[in-house]
Copies of this chain bind each other. A is one copy, B any other.
């Protein structure tokens, strides 16, 4: 269990502060995460990684010469917000564009995508590579759905070494994607980790059992079996990975691979070495040459008991970049030529509170946006317990607390911005960032995205009319469906947002005033929220309780319908 903390809510901030204090010659804190403290070559690509905290050395421990240029650091096991990623990427940018790379999780996909939009909007070329190494999380024909686990390291390392070698952004993307497709991992778990201040672990594996393929946040595995011997575990892991060679790898032609045996927290070095002994034998017996393997803790989940094996199939280019030197807090290899320390004043750090000039109509409209956020925070406050109760049926029961934190943070930020004469668009956009930052998790990401789209439609120039609002809601829906991958019928908030948006647009087009159109749409939203009780969730959850959830509506759908209803009163 996690025993050492002060205020659990401050855990990540304090850990970050301690981390930066320990490695001042390698990393520097910036809003949203850390960047290298050393100067990178100008006009080279910057590789910015990130994800939830709690996985050290991923992600911040991998920032430094020869590896990542920056890491956006979310809350524990929660994606960083788009603003965090954007801010780190801006500070890390060396003038030749930014590669964003991260593990394939819904919240990360959403937030990194939004951050990319903002960077491109700023004129900074930006591409993304999401790591998909976990073979247990989807079949090969749906490889894009696979999660990223310890293979994060190989993809990040290759991308960064290519950037360091002066590759263009397109070339960095090509080689990083190539590394991604040639990285395959398979893991097992024996017990879950405990978040600071929590009474119990995030999940448990039954005593004496091993969950095969279980994800690093407790995502469902593919089977459970009795804990095998170290040799049997090695055989299980190697067999699976040798059974799925990436395209282009031919063992008959003297394949070369690096091997990563990763401990997730409490499976310790000596145990890993006992397993590695057999892994090494099996891979060598298969005629594969092992190149610069790593045995240790590379991507962890606090004190989770588990281990994973990664095979990274090399070719000449990948091998060159894998062997390249690196010097980060947690990963050091070969000899780097030490670069000079950066001067803090040269950093391009966007001020998240920068306010564009707004028209007086927009500043007036901001009053209404603030009122809507007040109504939202109130209805969430009143119903948070109920949201948690519904969410607990088939989820982890944190929907209430996440919504509460998010709506409260958004309201506070909006009040402050109102004082500063923000326009309606900026007020909602920055409040939405605050929501996403504070709420964390996928629901935070989705609400952040929703408010962001709406805000972009409003802008700071005009009084937003009914058509603008309807268009903003449409764009929010598009945005969420694109990044969040949820479709209608998947038992998510999309099941409410979609009919709400359709009705709103129809009624506005038919000539209804906003309040009137909104009311009709809100009624449809209510019905749609109730109807989610008949659906089974289709999108991965920490615990797949699809059947159990039948008869209960989706918590995110219910909370959206209630908020829509509450906002109606202030229109």
Tally of A interface residues using CB under 8 Å: 62
A11–B269 CB distance below 8 A:
no
Other-chain contact of A4, B3, B12, B271 (Cβ < 8 Å) = B271
A562 at the interface (CB under 8 A from B): no
CA A94 – CA B305 in complex, angstroms? 42
A269–B61 CB distance below 8 A:
yes
A15 at the interface (CB under 8 A from B): yes
B3–A271 CB distance below 8 A:
yes
- A336 (CB) vs chain B CBs: closest residue: B335
A531 at the interface (CB under 8 A from B): no
B265–A266 CB distance below 8 A:
yes
Other-chain contact of A335, B269, B279, B337 (Cβ < 8 Å) = B337
CA A520 – CA B56 in complex, angstroms? 66
CB-defined contacts of A269 to chain B, threshold 8 Å: 56-57, 61, 300, 330
A217 at the interface (CB under 8 A from B): no
A190 at the interface (CB under 8 A from B): yes
Chain A residues numbered 234-281 whose CB sits less than 8 Å from any CB in chain B: 261, 265-280
CA A54 – CA B2 in complex, angstroms? 22
CB-defined contacts of A54 to chain B, threshold 8 Å: 270
A534 at the interface (CB under 8 A from B): no
A109 at the interface (CB under 8 A from B): no
The minimal Cβ–Cβ distance linking A298 to chain B, given in whole angstroms, is: 12
- A261 (CB) vs chain B CBs: closest residue: B22
CB-defined contacts of A297 to chain B, threshold 8 Å: 297
CB-defined contacts of A336 to chain B, threshold 8 Å: 335
CB-defined contacts of A16 to chain B, threshold 8 Å: 273
A268–B14 CB distance below 8 A:
no
Stretch at the interface among A225-233, A389-397, A511-519, A536-544: A225-233
A203 at the interface (CB under 8 A from B): no
B273–A3 CB distance below 8 A:
no
Given known contacts A4-B230, A332-B332, A335-B338, A266 and B303 CB-to-CB distance under 8 angstroms = yes
A408 at the interface (CB under 8 A from B): no
CA A296 – CA B18 in complex, angstroms? 12
CB-defined contacts of A293 to chain B, threshold 8 Å: 22
Chain A binding surface, main DSSP class = mixed
Other-chain contact of A17, B19, B57, B227, B277 (Cβ < 8 Å) = B277
The minimal Cβ–Cβ distance linking A235 to chain B, given in whole angstroms, is: 12
B300–A3 CB distance below 8 A:
no
Q: Counting chain B CB atoms within 10 Å of each CB, which of A21, A57, A61 scores highest?
A: A21
CA A558 – CA B21 in complex, angstroms? 55
Given known contacts A270-B53, A274-B11, A280 and B21 CB-to-CB distance under 8 angstroms = yes
A6–B229 CB distance below 8 A:
yes
A307 at the interface (CB under 8 A from B): yes
CA A266 – CA B303 in complex, angstroms? 6
The minimal Cβ–Cβ distance linking A141 to chain B, given in whole angstroms, is: 32
CA A307 – CA B5 in complex, angstroms? 13
A227–B3 CB distance below 8 A:
yes
Chain A residues numbered 291-313 whose CB sits less than 8 Å from any CB in chain B: 293-297, 300, 302-303, 305, 307
Q: Which 10 A-B pairs have the closest CB atoms?
A: A18-B277, A335-B335, A18-B273, A56-B269, A18-B276, A4-B271, A332-B332, A21-B280, A15-B273, A15-B270
A-B contact pairs, 5 of them (CB 8 A): A4-B271, A15-B270, A15-B274, A265-B268, A268-B302
Interface residues of A (CB under 8 A from B): 2-6, 11-12, 14-19, 21-22, 53-54, 56-57, 61, 190, 196, 227, 229-231, 233, 261, 265-280, 293-297, 300, 302-303, 305, 307, 325, 330, 332-333, 335-338
List 4 additional contacts besides A4-B229, A18-B280, A335-B338; criterion CB under 8 Å.
A4-B307, A12-B270, A296-B330, A335-B336
